[in-house]
Structure 1
Protein backbone atom coordinates (compact mmCIF):
# COMPACT_ATOMS: atom_id res chain seq x y z
CA UNK A 1 0.00 0.00 0.00
CA UNK A 2 1.24 3.45 -0.89
CA UNK A 3 2.22 6.03 1.67
CA UNK A 4 -0.63 8.57 2.02
CA UNK A 5 1.76 11.48 1.50
CA UNK A 6 3.16 9.85 -1.64
CA UNK A 7 -0.38 9.28 -2.93
CA UNK A 8 -1.25 12.93 -2.29
CA UNK A 9 1.93 14.03 -4.05
CA UNK A 10 1.11 11.84 -7.04
CA UNK A 11 -2.42 13.26 -7.18
CA UNK A 12 -1.13 16.83 -7.06
CA UNK A 13 1.40 15.99 -9.78
CA UNK A 14 -1.29 14.60 -12.07
CA UNK A 15 -3.63 17.53 -11.38
CA UNK A 16 -0.89 20.05 -12.11
CA UNK A 17 0.17 18.39 -15.33
CA UNK A 18 -3.45 18.04 -16.40
CA UNK A 19 -4.08 21.74 -15.87
CA UNK A 20 -0.85 22.68 -17.65
CA UNK A 21 -1.74 20.47 -20.60
CA UNK A 22 -5.23 21.93 -20.84
CA UNK A 23 -3.82 25.45 -20.87
CA UNK A 24 -1.22 24.54 -23.50
CA UNK A 25 -3.84 22.83 -25.68
CA UNK A 26 -6.01 25.95 -25.46
CA UNK A 27 -3.21 28.25 -26.59
CA UNK A 28 -1.77 25.97 -29.26
CA UNK A 29 -5.19 24.82 -30.47
CA UNK A 30 -6.43 28.33 -31.11
CA UNK A 31 -3.31 29.29 -33.01
CA UNK A 32 -3.32 26.06 -35.00
CA UNK A 33 -6.94 26.36 -36.06
CA UNK A 34 -6.36 29.98 -37.08
CA UNK A 35 -3.32 29.04 -39.14
CA UNK A 36 -5.09 26.12 -40.82
CA UNK A 37 -8.06 28.35 -41.68
CA UNK A 38 -5.71 30.57 -43.66
CA UNK A 39 -3.44 27.83 -45.05
CA UNK A 40 -4.94 24.31 -45.10
CA UNK A 41 -1.56 22.84 -46.11
CA UNK A 42 -0.36 23.46 -42.52
CA UNK A 43 -2.48 20.56 -41.24
CA UNK A 44 0.51 18.23 -40.70
CA UNK A 45 2.50 20.77 -38.72
CA UNK A 46 -0.59 21.79 -36.78
CA UNK A 47 -1.28 18.19 -35.83
CA UNK A 48 2.26 17.78 -34.51
CA UNK A 49 1.92 21.00 -32.51
CA UNK A 50 -1.35 19.73 -31.01
CA UNK A 51 0.27 16.47 -29.88
CA UNK A 52 3.33 18.03 -28.23
CA UNK A 53 1.55 19.39 -25.11
CA UNK A 54 0.33 15.86 -24.33
CA UNK A 55 3.90 14.94 -23.39
CA UNK A 56 3.46 17.06 -20.27
CA UNK A 57 0.90 14.56 -18.96
CA UNK A 58 3.14 11.62 -19.87
CA UNK A 59 6.00 13.12 -17.87
CA UNK A 60 3.62 13.79 -14.97
CA UNK A 61 2.45 10.17 -15.08
CA UNK A 62 6.04 8.92 -14.95
CA UNK A 63 6.77 11.12 -11.94
CA UNK A 64 3.55 10.04 -10.21
CA UNK A 65 4.39 6.38 -10.74
CA UNK A 66 7.87 6.97 -9.34
CA UNK A 67 6.35 8.62 -6.28
CA UNK A 68 3.97 5.72 -5.75
CA UNK A 69 6.63 3.06 -6.22
CA UNK A 70 9.11 5.03 -4.11
CA UNK A 71 11.80 4.93 -6.79
CA UNK A 72 14.29 7.66 -5.97
CA UNK A 73 15.25 9.86 -8.88
CA UNK A 74 19.00 10.47 -9.21
Structure 2
Protein backbone atom coordinates (compact mmCIF):
# COMPACT_ATOMS: atom_id res chain seq x y z
CA UNK A 1 0.00 0.00 0.00
CA UNK A 2 2.79 2.42 0.81
CA UNK A 3 4.36 1.68 -2.57
CA UNK A 4 1.21 2.85 -4.34
CA UNK A 5 1.18 6.05 -2.30
CA UNK A 6 4.84 6.68 -3.18
CA UNK A 7 4.18 6.15 -6.88
CA UNK A 8 1.16 8.47 -6.77
CA UNK A 9 3.22 11.14 -5.00
CA UNK A 10 5.96 10.79 -7.61
CA UNK A 11 3.45 11.17 -10.46
CA UNK A 12 2.03 14.34 -8.90
CA UNK A 13 5.54 15.73 -8.59
CA UNK A 14 6.18 14.92 -12.25
CA UNK A 15 2.92 16.67 -13.15
CA UNK A 16 4.09 19.79 -11.34
CA UNK A 17 7.43 19.70 -13.14
CA UNK A 18 5.62 19.14 -16.44
CA UNK A 19 3.40 22.15 -15.91
CA UNK A 20 6.40 24.26 -14.99
CA UNK A 21 8.06 23.30 -18.25
CA UNK A 22 4.84 23.81 -20.21
CA UNK A 23 4.48 27.33 -18.80
CA UNK A 24 7.61 28.32 -20.70
CA UNK A 25 5.67 28.28 -24.00
CA UNK A 26 3.05 30.89 -23.09
CA UNK A 27 5.77 32.99 -21.45
CA UNK A 28 7.76 33.05 -24.67
CA UNK A 29 4.58 33.71 -26.65
CA UNK A 30 3.66 36.72 -24.53
CA UNK A 31 7.19 38.08 -24.90
CA UNK A 32 7.03 37.75 -28.68
CA UNK A 33 3.58 39.37 -28.82
CA UNK A 34 4.55 42.45 -26.85
CA UNK A 35 8.02 42.72 -28.40
CA UNK A 36 6.62 42.72 -31.92
CA UNK A 37 3.77 45.00 -30.85
CA UNK A 38 6.26 47.53 -29.55
CA UNK A 39 8.15 47.41 -32.85
CA UNK A 40 4.91 47.85 -34.77
CA UNK A 41 3.93 50.86 -32.64
CA UNK A 42 7.33 52.41 -33.27
CA UNK A 43 6.95 51.95 -37.03
CA UNK A 44 3.32 53.05 -37.35
CA UNK A 45 2.10 55.06 -34.37
CA UNK A 46 -1.12 55.97 -36.17
CA UNK A 47 -2.24 52.31 -35.98
CA UNK A 48 -1.86 52.19 -32.18
CA UNK A 49 -5.49 51.22 -31.49
CA UNK A 50 -5.50 48.27 -33.87
CA UNK A 51 -2.07 47.06 -32.75
CA UNK A 52 -2.99 47.29 -29.08
CA UNK A 53 -6.26 45.41 -29.65
CA UNK A 54 -4.41 42.62 -31.43
CA UNK A 55 -1.83 42.50 -28.64
CA UNK A 56 -4.51 42.06 -26.00
CA UNK A 57 -6.25 39.35 -28.02
CA UNK A 58 -2.99 37.44 -28.51
CA UNK A 59 -2.13 37.81 -24.83
CA UNK A 60 -5.53 36.42 -23.84
CA UNK A 61 -5.08 33.37 -26.07
CA UNK A 62 -1.60 32.65 -24.70
CA UNK A 63 -2.72 33.00 -21.11
CA UNK A 64 -5.78 30.83 -21.74
CA UNK A 65 -3.46 28.02 -22.82
CA UNK A 66 -1.43 28.46 -19.64
CA UNK A 67 -4.55 28.37 -17.46
CA UNK A 68 -5.87 25.27 -19.23
CA UNK A 69 -2.52 23.61 -18.59
CA UNK A 70 -2.77 24.54 -14.93
CA UNK A 71 -6.26 23.05 -14.55
CA UNK A 72 -5.71 19.78 -16.46
CA UNK A 73 -3.62 18.02 -13.77
CA UNK A 74 -6.45 18.63 -11.30
CA UNK A 75 -9.06 17.30 -13.73
CA UNK A 76 -7.17 14.11 -14.58
CA UNK A 77 -5.53 13.71 -11.18
CA UNK A 78 -8.78 13.00 -9.39
Structure 2-normalised TM-score?
0.68
Post-superposition Cα deviations, 1:7-59, rounded to whole Å, max 9, x if no partner, equal: 12320232022111111111111112222332212221221112211122112
Aligned residues: 69
CA RMSD of superposed structures (Å): 2.2
Q: Establish whether residue 40 from structure 1 lines up as the match of residue 45 from structure 2.
A: no
Runs of at least 5 residues in structure 2 that lack an aligned partner in the other structure: none
Higher relative contact order by CA 8 Å / sep ≥ 6: 1 or 2? 1
- The aligned counterpart of 1:66 is 75
Asked whether the equivalents of residues 10 and 68 of structure 1 are also in contact (C-alpha less than 8 Å), the reply is no
Report 1:1-74 matches (<5 A). Answer: 3-37=8-42, 38=44, 39-42=47-50, 43-69=52-78
Structure 1-normalised TM-score?
0.70
Greater helix fraction, Structure 1 or Structure 2: 2
Q: 1:36 to 1:51 in 2, by over 3 A?
A: farther
